[in-house]
């Protein structure tokens, strides 16, 4: 028995909230329920199969999104490592700028050290009483640099972390695109 049917195909279009699609879908379900040639269990299975089919597609998409996110992270890591290695080679050869045709130039962004603040909540209930309905680290950080500092300071600790960012290569794009050169 083929369980993919017209109502299932219509189900995929219901997200548009189109009244005509809803009406046709309702009619298809009513026709299925009124079909004297199908037993009750067949009707139940056909309706359930619509949802199972959608769930299967959602699960497949979730797994593909997870896979794509993994690939994206790997590519970002590879890109960063590549920039660091090329920067090391540029520094080894004393190159601080390399001009290009397709790109304006390649330059080196110097290494830098940044300080990151981390908020540690000592008394969440007191912060909620002060109007922070949900203790949100970003809102608390923003409040630290306002007149509310003295109000929230007793209920939090601020931890500082030094983050070292190595020197990396920077690709300076052209403001005006030059057509690609053909090499023979």
Domain ranges of the chain: 1-87, 112-164
- Eight-class DSSP state of 2: -
Per residue in 145-169, pLDDT (tens digit) is 888 778 888 888 888 888 888 899 9
Question: Is the distance from CB of 178 to CB of 102 less than 8 angstroms?
Answer: yes
Give the least confident one: 10-14, 38-42, 97-101, 178-182. 178-182
- Confidence class for position 5, pLDDT limits 50, 70, 90: low
pTM of the model: 0.59
Sheet of 168-172: strands edge to edge? 97-99, 105-109, 168-172
pLDDT for res 34: 94
């Amino acid at each position: 028995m083929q369980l993919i049917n017209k109502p299932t195909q219509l189900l995929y279009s219901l997200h548009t909230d189109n009244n005509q699609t809803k009406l046709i879908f309702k009619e298809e379900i009513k026709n299925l329920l009124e079909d004297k040639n199908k037993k009750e269990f067949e009707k139940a299975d056909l309706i359930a199969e619509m949802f199972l089919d959608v769930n299967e597609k959602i699960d497949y998409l979730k797994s593909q999104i997870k896979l794509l996110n993994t690939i994206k992270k790997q590519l970002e890591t590879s890109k960063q490592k590549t920039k660091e290695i090329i920067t090391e080679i540029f520094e080894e050869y004393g190159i601080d700028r390399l001009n290009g045709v397709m790109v304006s130039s390649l330059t080196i962004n110097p290494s830098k050290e940044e300080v990151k603040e981390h908020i540690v909540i000592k008394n969440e209930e007191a912060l909620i009483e002060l109007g922070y309905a949900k203790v949100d680290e970003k809102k608390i950080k923003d409040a630290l640099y306002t007149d509310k500092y003295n109000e929230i300071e007793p209920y939090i600790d601020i931890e500082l972390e030094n983050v070292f960012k190595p020197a990396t290569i920077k690709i300076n794009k052209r403001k005006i695109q030059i057509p690609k050169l053909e090499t023979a």
